Amino acid sequence: MTAQTSTLPHAHPLSGRREQFATRAVFLVAGLGLASWAPLVPFAKARLGVDDAALGILLLCLGLGSIVAMPITGALASRLGCRTILVLSALVFALVIPWLVLSSSVLSLAIALILFGASIGTFDVAMNIQAVMVEKDSGRHMMSGFHGLFSLGGMLGAGGVSLLLGTGLAPLSVTLMIGALLIILVISAYSGLLPYGNREAAGTPLFVLPRGIVIFIGALCFIVFLAEGAVLDWSALFLISSQSVEPSHAGFGYTMFAVAMTLGRLTGDRIVRAVGGTVILVAGGILSAAGFLIAVFAPSATIALAGFLLVGLGASNIVPVLFTAAGRQTSMPASLAVAAITTLGYAGILLGPAAIGFVAQHLSIGAGFVAIAVGLLVVGIAGPAVYRR
């Protein structure tokens, strides 16, 4: 049996193992798709011949696409179901990935990044709505494990693309392989994707402003997503400029980050049960801030990579804890709260690349990383107000 019948009238059947497997699969897909872009950033910069500031502005397009699409995804998932949203958005970003390496002009890459960001953002909100419902049905902590599969996808995406590029394989061939793999994974998960959305959001407008504790949770997500986006978009260029790492190997900065995120999240459900969400937020904020500082002031590439690993370890369970809190709060329906905090979080990805690009142009990428470390310390200090064991 993969589901149980709910005792509530007109309720959907409770999700079971099949839905849990499908949820893990789509988190893996999201991580693979997003992280495959990280090793391609230096190639795009070289192909277009732009400086750090221009690249930062160009990278705004990825966040812009996400910010436009995310706010309405919660209501759309309630009307069309998580399955429909996940399948359609997966098809779009699987088809757009090759465009990222074919773009030969700033305008072409900007359009590709907007579509890439919109499809990834839509997919991200829908998969987290499914995750909240599946976790509630299970009656146990599962969110860290789900996000662990996202991190595993990030590790495989960044590391795999870096390795394939290092063998001399053409970027277009690599992206076509990634796109095909994403489609295969979504097909394998199809039967377990929820054909419905959150019932509490039925009949609500397509866009609802966040309120109450949801705003505060979203602000913390903003900082953590900004940090994750900084590693995604700038770690490769940072390693090239500060540690003279070869471009074909520079993607390993994000790979180390993703390895730590994966290990932290795959063990995170047990850790959250043992110590509670408050400890996760405090310790995680401090550790991830320390990781950025170590990377910036590292005397060697090896120590810099260790710093990125510590960033991933510290940040690994902050977002899962915040998403669980969003699912439990009562200020808004869960699906709308998830859409709201994901949108606020991805605003960090929208503003982060441009901000770091501006700082890099006038100071250095490392100076931008130090500013992010300060923000992560704020998460550690303010986080306990969100989550009580």
Domain edges within the chain = 17-385
**CATH topology for the 17-385 domain:** Growth Hormone; Chain: A; (1.20.1250)
Q: How far apart are CA 249 and CA 244, in angstroms?
A: 10
User: What mean pLDDT is reported for the chain?
Assistant: 81
Phi, psi dihedral angles at 330 (to 5 degrees): -115, 5
* Range of weakest confidence among 117-121, 197-201, 321-325: 197-201
Which residues contact residue 265 at a Cβ distance below 8 angstroms, ignoring those fewer than 6 apart? 144, 145, 147, 148, 150, 151, 316, 317, 320
- Higher-confidence residue of 360 and 381: namely 381
Residue 60 pLDDT: 78
Instruction: Report residue 289's pLDDT band, with 50, 70 and 90 as the boundaries.
Output: very high
Per-residue tokens: 166: 């290092």
Mean pLDDT of the region 269-289: 85
Mean pLDDT of 151-158: 82
pLDDT of residue 8: 39
- Across 92-120, b (16+ Cβ under 10 Å) vs e yields ebbebbbbbbebeebeebbbbbbbbbbbb
Q: What integer pLDDT is reported at residue 28 of this predicted model?
A: 93
Angle at 49 between CA 112 and CA 66, to 5 degrees: 25
Summarised one tens digit per residue, pLDDT across range 37-51 is 878 888 888 888 887
Q: Which two tokens stand for residue 118?
A: 């919109």
Is the pLDDT reported for residue 4 higher than 50?
no
Percent of the chain beyond pLDDT 90? Answer: 14
1 pLDDT more than 50: no
Please list the alpha-helical segments (H only) found in 103-212: 106-138, 143-166, 171-189
What's the DSSP call for residue 11?
P
- Which of 5-14, 106-115, 243-252 has the weakest average pLDDT? 5-14
Q: What is the pLDDT of residue 79?
A: 79
Phi, psi of 4 (to 5 degrees): -115, 155
Separation between Cα atoms, residue 175 and residue 100, nearest integer Å? 9
Q: What residue has token string 């306990």? A: 384
**According to the model, what pLDDT value does residue 55 have?**
81
Average the pLDDT over each of 40-44, 97-101, 252-256, 334-338 and give the range with the smallest value.
334-338
What average pLDDT does the segment 354-375 reach? 82
Q: Which pLDDT belongs to residue 199?
A: 54
Q: Are 372 and 355 in contact (CB under 8 A)?
A: no
Q: Are the beta carbons of 271 and 317 closer than 8 angstroms?
A: yes
Check whether 232 has a pLDDT greater than 80.
Answer: no
Q: What is the pLDDT of residue 9?
A: 39
Percent of the residues in the chain that have a pLDDT greater than 70, as a whole number: 87
More confident residue, 88 or 316: 88
Per-residue pLDDT band for 294 (boundaries 50, 70, 90) equals very high
DSSP, collapsed to helix, strand or coil, labels residue 202 as: coil
pLDDT at 209 over 90: no
202 against 329, higher pLDDT: 329
Q: What is the mean pLDDT of residues 75-92?
A: 87
Q: What pLDDT digit, counting tens, does each position of 133-151 carry?
A: 888 777 777 887 888 888 7
More confident residue, 2 or 273: 273
Query: Cα-atom radius of gyration of the chain, to the nearest Å?
Result: 19
Given a cut of 50, whether residue 71 has pLDDT beyond it is yes
Nearest to 156 by CA among 258, 288, 235: 258
